[in-house]
Homo-oligomer: A and B are copies of this chain.
Amino acid sequence: MDLNAYLAVRRQEVDAALERFLPPADERPARLHAAMRYSLLAGGKRLRPILCLASAEAVGGQRPAALLPAVALECLHTYTLIHDDLPVMDNDDLRRGLPTCHKKFDEATALLAGDALLTLAFELLARGATPVTAEVTAQLVRELAEAAGSRGVVGGQAEDLAAEGCEPEAELLEFIHTNKTGKLLRAACRMGALTAGADALQLAALTTYAAKIGLAFQIADDVLNVTSTAQQLGKAVGSDAARKKMTYVALYGLATARAKATALITEAQAALAPLGARAEPLAALAEFTIKRSS
């Protein structure tokens, strides 16, 4: 299949939905709404929403039902980027090739824009969308909240900050990556599948797939931080080493990290077997997670 064409079409669907579901920039409080739109519509791979849509497809579901969860996932992901970029956290000036939210606006606005996007993610899920039942809506909220909270993304970020400057340590690194990156990718796949009425076997297959690509994605991120240029990446490079971040590259070296990522992709693709041909986009997406340039 032509993955680039597939990604382009899906990105367009996601971007159109984001535009539709975000408060207009001239609605009060205008500066806050402008900041939310700035960060959310600044581009990006839209990997999480596309995983959600492709997972719904993979179990034979209708994409429209997965569109609100897809948008919710991108709102949530963008909030984590805005807060992580703040001076008290990673203090980054550049994101997706543009000034970070607090550089473009101000710190207070960026903090609130993140809070509002996190909240909006749950609001969008709760709106429901034909043909998603209330039971599925409640499941979606639970999946996203569990993935995003102190036992998920926020917990991973907390340990990541605490680990700066510490000696690399395999078990801690896995905790950080599983939570900071892995759980939201996992939620993306599972939420898409849930909107499509996945059975237990299908859900288990997608959960395994997501765990493998989640880890591969993070290893690729660590590799890119060493090997890429700021222009390709749209954000600062070499920053991990400068900050003594705990990364796969720091722990295992570049060659071993790359080999591990490649092996994980093969395992992720194997996990899709029970889903048959409808999972072809997910198989292609798995490779994309490590072959991307940003």
Contact = CB atoms under 8 A, between A and B. Distances in A.
Contact of A111 (B89, B108, B139, B142): B89
Contacts of A115: 79, 83, 114-115, 118, 154
- Give the oligomeric copy count: 2
Contacts of A120: 145, 149-150
A155 interface: yes
17 contacts: A29-B158, A32-B150, A32-B154, A33-B150, A83-B111, A83-B112, A88-B108, A116-B154, A119-B145, A120-B145, A120-B149, A120-B150, A122-B122, A122-B141, A123-B141, A126-B139, A133-B134
Given A120-B145, A120-B149, A122-B122, A158 B112 contact: yes
A196 B274 CA distance: 44
A83 B113 CA distance: 12
A138 interface: yes
Interface in A146-182: 146, 148-151, 154-155, 157-159, 161-162, 175
Contact of A109 (B112, B141, B158, B175): B158
A32 B236 CA distance: 27
Given A126-B138, A134-B138, A149-B123, A159 B29 contact: yes
Given A111-B111, A155-B32, A122 B150 contact: no
A157 B133 CA distance: 34
A162 B126 contact: no
A28 B276 CA distance: 39
Nearest to A132: B138
Contacts of A66: none
Q: On chain A, which size bracket covers the interface? A: 35 or more
Interface of A: 23, 28-29, 31-33, 36, 79, 83, 86, 88-89, 107-109, 111-112, 114-116, 118-120, 122-123, 125-128, 133-135, 137-139, 141-142, 144-146, 148-151, 154-155, 157-159, 161-162, 175
A125 B146 CA distance: 12
Contacts of A161: 108
Contacts of A118: 115, 118-119
Contacts of A89: 108, 111
A137 to B, nearest CB: 4
B162 A145 contact: no
A175 B32 CA distance: 15
A155 B29 contact: yes
A108 B157 CA distance: 10
A213 B88 CA distance: 37
A150 B118 CA distance: 10
Contacts of A137: 134, 137-138, 141
